[in-house]
Structure 1
């Protein structure tokens, strides 16, 4: 196959910038891929709320006078549609679909999740949550990427981790394997139909002995994965109504992949816009409505297909907001925050720990009750069956009886 150096370099840039292929190359066993269509293994869906969601106006301590003292105009009043839960806490009025899942025993809430010496920078705190590091530790791999690096059988597949987005987050990057970023299977397949990539994919090349051979293998593997995902995703088309938003569409794509039998173990979806320094109520209410409606539809979709019991959804944000409102009727960057868990396989449901202590603040911020890495350790070990200590680099106490 004759190809000019200029064409090769041009196509390599396209492939490396758009396809986000794994670093460690494995030969694709096509028969194994077909068999995975009927796999029923557990899967994890991570939903990232970018910008720092205000946890106190998400899970509202509506009978705590200190909450209203700190938020005289921003605090959401008891008569304004708060969706009562337990322990004098309630969902934001926009979260009706999630309240329904809570009532069905398919949702759990963890309060005041954080880490020692918290960082209020969006970028740094997100890196900490995505990498699973300490606040003074800098890692170039993510906690889910290191899971992909581990020896789980399904991790050998290059599409075992899928991020429904145009870019791949740090969370999904390992040292030897990475997740695959795609907006939808058809778009990914279209990208790999480039004439040069098609020629490379159909060609036979010797073992990798140079960077050129390495790229040949990478492109061929990516094209094979893209074709598999596209063909598999056509098996199931959702009839459930999702919000007509980017987040809703991304959740629908995720549900269609899961319900089509794609053998991926980890999925990653994001909803941004939570940096609510100014006029928070309207902005956050709209976003929480999108979150609630989207996840409600997602749960309905998976329930109808019989896949909700094997699916765990973890919803987090890089930090919460300060307890007191600011002068612009918003909130500034804070520390600890709530985490939501959804799924049909939860062994514990409801509110799992105490409400945030508004009498014991640290520099005006919530003190964390639970280290987020304990939650990661629980998910890795008890849900995904992985070696949490090896992946996180330290031993963290797991939450007993949760999963």
Structure 2
């Protein structure tokens, strides 16, 4: 049977989504949509997803340091390589950062990677929480069920592109309508006066922000670029710019030309609105982040992740001008596919993450309207974790990993979920020490969604597998 023809709108929307960050995609006005949650959304809330692209090694990010765990860690992660991935073994990164969660886990103790001093401080101050062993799951799965393939499993485990897509949309690579960031803000669309700024990526086209109706706003750098030559002299003529504008925005009976003109008009108005509303950089706006220091070289330089979060803060600062009550943002940092030289590469990446999160937390205290930390929640995500075993100076693709949630509404200074045993052969070992997740992405996202304003019914729509789990809210967010 042939595949049904797509609707004109879906077809064009798909093409524009595939265009990535090279153009500003058109955005439908979703104000006509309504929900019980949106009707009461008179406050402002934003979610910021920080995606650690490549698959971050959770075992060297949040470490178990109790004697039994540490003995196993040292045994399996110390190799003969000069670049052994084991921390705390007399290496340059031996100074682990102990953390003491409010809820003790009997006989266990924990620490963060030495590069994460700022995040250690955020944790101790109650602004940061750890969510342990999160990963893609369709339903609760035991080790025996996984190996027997006796329960439904996420599509194409251990594949970068597919697991990035499953993390962000519950669908393998190719999904472009079910990103859970976009779906959440679509549910609450009636709260916003302008849908163009509801889902914003500073890191190109994001599956996380690909919704059924909403089109994400994509841009790189510190501002949304304007279409060139629409004002001022063009080819020596003062009239040519207006003529060019008329050509690219004129209506047409041809459907493709008609939609192209709609995209152009939307791009022009969106850029103008953003340039007016976004807070400026520097004095009177959002201060530039300080330079971060590479722990391997001691050299200070610009932190690209912090710059992305500065752009997010500038847009949040313009929320009232833009008429926004609910926004979802996507930023990312790459390089976490550490098959080799992991100790060096991960140390630098986690230093950037830690520096950027401290900067963003500080900026939220000084935005117009006062302290915005309780209205903005940042969380990390990644393709997957990595194997506990080492290939000498790196690790291979894993499954579950540990993640962070930051904000004034977060019940910080705690670890949510049981930290898994450290070693090989335990109940969470899916093979080579890859962690069989104990917490699903659906549970992680549903907890954030509940704080964001979703009802139980809306949560089930956004996270179709949530009904398979007895615990739908992990409890790391304060009730509204």
**Quick check: TM above 0.5?**
yes
SS of equivalent to 2:366: helix
- The change in CA–CA distance for 1:269 and 1:247 in structure 2 (over 3 A counts) is same
Q: Any idea what the Cα deviations from partners look like across 1:177-196, whole Å, max 9, x if unmatched?
A: 12100124634235595858
Which segment is superposed worse, 101-110 or 213-222?
A: 213-222
Q: Is 1:47 the counterpart of 2:31 in the alignment?
A: no
Is residue 12 of structure 2 the alignment partner of residue 19 of structure 1? Answer: no
2:158 is matched with 120
The Cα shift of 1:241 comes to 2.9
| Aligned-pair CA distance for 1:372 | 0.9
CA distance in 1, matches of 2:386, 2:242: 49
- Asked if structure 1 preserves the Cα contact closer than 8 Å seen for 2:187 and 2:454, the reply is no
Q: Distance in 2 between matches of 1:160 and 1:192?
A: 28
Q: Deviations over 1:51-75 (max 9, x none)?
A: 1110000001123121211101422
**What is the TM-score normalised by the length of structure 1?**
0.84
254-263 or 243-252, which deviates more: 254-263
Matches within 5 A, 1:266-285: 266-285=328-347
> Deviation of residue 400 (structure 1)?
4.8
Q: State yes or no: 1:111 paired with 2:169.
A: no
- CA deviations on 1:12-31 (whole Å, 9 max, x unpaired) are 99x9562241353569xxxx
Deviations 1:302-332 (A, max 9, x none): 12331111100011111011011113x1111
Q: Which residue of 2 aligns with 1:351?
A: 415
Alpha-carbon distance change, 241 to 16 in structure 1, aligned in 2, over 3 angstroms:
closer
- Shift in Å, 1:355: 1.2
Is 1:179 matched up with 2:216? yes
Q: State the distance in 2 between where 1:272 and 1:163 align.
A: 15
Distance 1:128 1:19 in 2: 25
Corresponding residue for residue 377 of structure 2: 312
226 and 113 in structure 1: CA distance in 2 versus 1, 3 angstrom threshold: same
Residue pair 2:446, 2:463 contacting (<8 A) in 1 also = yes
Q: What's the offset of the Cα at 1:99?
A: 0.8
Structure 1 residues 63-82: aligned runs within 5 Å: 63=66, 64=69, 65-72=71-78, 73-77=84-88, 80-82=94-96
Q: Does the residue aligned with 2:443 lie in a helix, a strand or coil? A: helix
Larger Rg: 2
Provide the secondary structure at the position in 2 that maps to 1:393: coil
**Structure 2 residue corresponding to 1:295, chosen from 357, 361, 366:** 357
Q: Matched residues in 1 for 2:228 and 2:121: separation?
A: 40
| Correspondence 1:363 to 2:431 | yes
Could you tell me which runs of 5 or more consecutive residues in structure 1 were left unpaired when the two chains were aligned.
Answer: 1-11, 28-38
What is the aligned residue count? Answer: 376
Counterpart Cα distance in 1 of 2:385 and 2:398: 5
Q: Distance in 1 between matches of 2:212 and 2:453?
A: 19
Structure 2: runs of 5 or more not aligned: 1-14, 32-41, 79-83, 101-107, 138-152, 232-240, 292-301
Q: Secondary structure at the match of 2:49?
A: strand
Match of 2:262 in 1: 217
Q: Name the CA distance, whole Å, in 2 between partners of 1:369 and 1:285.
A: 26
TM, length-normalised to structure 2: 0.71
C-alpha RMSD of the superposition: 3.0
Looking at structure 2, the residues matched to 315 and 241 of structure 1 have their Cα atoms a distance apart, in angstroms, of 20
Q: Any runs of at least 4 consecutive aligned residues in structure 1 with deviations exceeding 6 A, and if so which? A: 201-204
Q: Distance in 2 between matches of 1:192 and 1:247?
A: 31
Instruction: Describe the shift of the 1:348–1:299 C-alpha distance in structure 2 as closer, same or farther (beyond 3 A).
Output: closer
Distance 1:275 1:294 in 2: 20
Query: Which residue is equivalent to 2:140?
Result: none
**Alpha-carbon shift at residue 78 of structure 1 (Å):** 7.4
- Residue 447 of structure 2 is matched in structure 1 by 378
| Kept in 2: contact 1:106–1:349 (CA 8 A) | yes
The DSSP-based 3-state class of the residue aligned with 1:398 is coil
| Contact 1:277–1:330, Cα closer than 8 Å, also in 2 | yes
* Corresponding residue SS for 1:385: coil
- 2:64–2:109 Cα contact (<8 Å) kept: yes
Q: Relative to structure 1, is the Cα distance of residues 284 and 348 closer, same or farther in structure 2, using a 3 angstrom cutoff?
A: closer
Residue matched to 1:232: 277
The 1:203/1:187 distance shift into structure 2, 3 A limit, reads: closer
Which 10-residue stretch deviates more, 354-363 or 144-153?
Answer: 144-153
